[in-house]
């Protein structure tokens, strides 16, 4: 088991290398650069900027430098310097006089005073909080809805649950968000229409330091708006999976043993039906916690969803690389956790 996890984490390094290489190649293959404007900058300034950010170097040199900055830990005696945008590391550990500094994702081209690590430190926690809450909403609504629909197949409960699911899938956040804001924020004035209720410093780097109504009043609407779509997917999946499981021979065996219908479902059917649901939870988690453009924009949440989009249109190379790699890391780790959960759910799956 431990060996399996280590092996998977080593694979992750390979995956990240491939992802970084492809991303790097693609973003440089796209025409235009970070400092192209409608009204071109004077050539001297362009030359200075390109020199400043090493954009004149051959691409392979730039890529090598990027990998060096991000992947290799540096051992120095100089402490971190907050004013130097090119020397901002995500992980700084002090041992005696020695600093171990790791993961410099570089400056952002679109802001003169921020680094990619600043985005990870300030925007990512908010997106993660929102994503986790949306995922909670999705699970708490989706799975029970799916179970009810499956157990009461072809009854009014089934149709009602699946109508809710269809509604959740078909109404995008861009419609549902403003609708919620209009009802609960503007008309009823129960919830603030925009903003987010937590500020740095964060517990463990991403959790709000203070929980309470002041925090949750900001989170309810976006979490519901974002989670509803995913809950619909989970509901349909749970329903389909449970319906398949209750047709299995071992469910008949359980009934033939004289089990109460309640036990047949909870003890014999439920765990088996969770496997496909868990499969989808991995990528769903990665997608939700790394930021969601439309939801964050609609509710005025300072998360990192917008950087996925704007960094590409701005050709903000370090931000593109940073966000894509971050997403890849979340996806790979989420899938690893999913695989470990499989082994817990199904004893036939063993990793040794």
Partner 1 sequence: MADLLNVQGLETHFRVREGYVHAVNGVDFHLKEGETLGIVGESGCGKSVTVMSMLRLIPVPPGKVVAGTAMYQGKDLLKMSPDEIRHIRGAQISMIFQDPMTSFNPVLTIGRQVAEPLEIHMGLSRKAALNRAAEMLAMVGIPNAKDRLNDYPHQFSGGMRQRVMIAMALTCSPQILIADEPTTALDVTIQAQIVDLVKRLRDELGMAIIWITHDLGIIAGLADRVNVMYGGLIIEAAPVKPLYAAPLHPYTQGLLHSLPRMDETEQRRLVSIDGLPPVLMTKPTSCPFAPRCTFAYERCLQENPPLINLDGNHQVACWVDTKTGRPRE
Number of residues that bind partner 1 (CB under 8 A): 23
In the complex with partner 1, which residue's Cβ is closer, 87 or 248? 248
Residue 51, burial from CB neighbour count under 10 angstroms (0-12, 13-18, 19+)? exposed
Long-range Cβ pairs for the range 334-341 (8 Å, 24+): 334/281, 334/282, 334/283, 334/285, 334/286, 335/282, 335/283, 336/5, 336/8, 336/9, 336/12, 337/282, 338/278, 338/279, 338/281, 338/282, 339/8, 340/5, 341/278
For the bound state, the minimum distance from the C-beta of residue 345 to partner 1, rounded and expressed in Å, comes to 6
Q: Convert residues 256-295 into a mask of x (bound to partner 1 by CB under 8 A) and - (unbound).
A: xxxxxx-x---xx--xx-----------------------
Residue of 48, 253, 266, 310 that binds partner 1 (CB under 8 A): 253
| Count of Cβ atoms closer than 10 Å to residue 68 Cβ | 11
In the complex with partner 1, which residue's Cβ is closer, 7 or 267? 267
Nearest Cα residue to 198 out of 261, 129, 144, 251? 129
Residue of 237, 254, 288, 321 that binds partner 1 (CB under 8 A): 254
Residue 226 contacts by C-beta under 8 Å, 6 or more apart in sequence?
Answer: 130, 131, 134, 137, 173, 288, 292, 295
Residues 149-188 close enough to bind partner 1 by CB under 8 A: none
For the bound state, the minimum distance from the C-beta of residue 272 to partner 1, rounded and expressed in Å, comes to 6
Q: Is 209 in the site for partner 1 (CB under 8 A)?
A: no
For the bound state, the minimum distance from the C-beta of residue 267 to partner 1, rounded and expressed in Å, comes to 7
In the complex with partner 1, which residue's Cβ is closer, 23 or 272? 272
Residue of 57, 87, 118, 248 that binds partner 1 (CB under 8 A): 248
For the bound state, the minimum distance from the C-beta of residue 343 to partner 1, rounded and expressed in Å, comes to 11
In the complex with partner 1, which residue's Cβ is closer, 199 or 247? 247
Q: Is 204 in the site for partner 1 (CB under 8 A)?
A: no
Q: Is 348 in the site for partner 1 (CB under 8 A)?
A: yes
In the complex with partner 1, which residue's Cβ is closer, 78 or 154? 154
**Structure tokens given for 160:** 């009602």
Residue 65 contacts by C-beta under 8 Å, 6 or more apart in sequence?
Answer: 54, 57
For the bound state, the minimum distance from the C-beta of residue 86 to partner 1, rounded and expressed in Å, comes to 53
Using CA atoms, how far apart are residues 69 and 83, in angstroms rounded to an integer?
18
In the complex with partner 1, which residue's Cβ is closer, 266 or 310? 266
Residue that is written with structure tokens 């004013």 in the block: 83
For the bound state, the minimum distance from the C-beta of residue 135 to partner 1, rounded and expressed in Å, comes to 24
- Omega prior to 79 cis, within 30 of 0: no
In the complex with partner 1, which residue's Cβ is closer, 10 or 263? 263
In the complex with partner 1, which residue's Cβ is closer, 214 or 346? 346
Q: Is 252 in the site for partner 1 (CB under 8 A)?
A: yes
Residues 288-347 close enough to bind partner 1 by CB under 8 A: 345-347
Using CA atoms, how far apart are residues 125 and 142, in angstroms rounded to an integer?
25
Using CA atoms, how far apart are residues 280 and 242, in angstroms rounded to an integer?
15
Q: Which residues bind partner 1 (CB under 8 A)?
A: 247-250, 252-261, 263, 267-268, 271-272, 345-348
């Amino acid at each position: 088991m431990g060996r399996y996890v280590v092996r998977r984490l080593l694979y992750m390094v390979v995956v990240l290398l491939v992802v970084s290489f492809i991303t790097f190649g693609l973003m440089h293959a796209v025409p235009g650069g970070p400092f192209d404007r409608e009204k071109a900058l004077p050539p001297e300034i362009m030359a200075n900027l390109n020199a400043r950010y090493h954009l004149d170097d051959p691409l392979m040199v730039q890529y090598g430098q990027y990998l060096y900055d991000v992947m290799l830990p540096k051992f120095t005696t100089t402490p971190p310097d907050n004013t130097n945008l090119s020397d901002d590391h995500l992980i700084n550990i002090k041992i005696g006089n020695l600093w171990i500094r790791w993961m410099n994702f570089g400056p952002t081209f679109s802001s003169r005073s921020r680094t990619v690590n600043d985005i990870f430190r300030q925007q990512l926690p908010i997106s993660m909080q929102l994503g986790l809450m949306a995922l909670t909403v999705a699970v708490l609504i989706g799975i029970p809805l799916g179970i009810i629909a499956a157990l009461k197949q072809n009854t009014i409960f089934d149709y009602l649950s699946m109508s809710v699911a269809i509604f959740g899938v078909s109404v995008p956040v861009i419609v549902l968000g403003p609708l919620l804001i209009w009802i609960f924020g503007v008309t009823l004035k129960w919830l603030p229409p925009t903003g987010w209720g937590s500020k740095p410093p964060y517990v463990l780097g991403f959790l709000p330091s203070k929980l309470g109504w002041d925090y949750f009043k900001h989170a309810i609407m976006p979490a519901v708006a974002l989670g509803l779509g995913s809950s619909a997917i989970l509901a349909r999946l749970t329903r389909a999976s449970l319906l398949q499981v209750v047709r299995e021979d071992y469910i008949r065996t359980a009934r033939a043993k004289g089990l109460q219908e309640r036990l047949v479902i909870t003890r014999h059917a439920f765990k088996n039906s969770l496997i496909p649901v868990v499969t989808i939870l991995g990528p769903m988690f990665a997608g939700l916690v790394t930021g969601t453009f439309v939801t964050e924009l609609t509710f005025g949440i300072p998360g990192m969803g917008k950087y996925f989009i704007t960094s590409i249109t701005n050709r903000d190379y370090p931000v593109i690389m940073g966000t894509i790699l971050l997403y890849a890391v979340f996806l790979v780790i989420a899938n690893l956790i999913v695989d470990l959960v499989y082994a817990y759910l199904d004893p036939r799956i063993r990793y040794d």
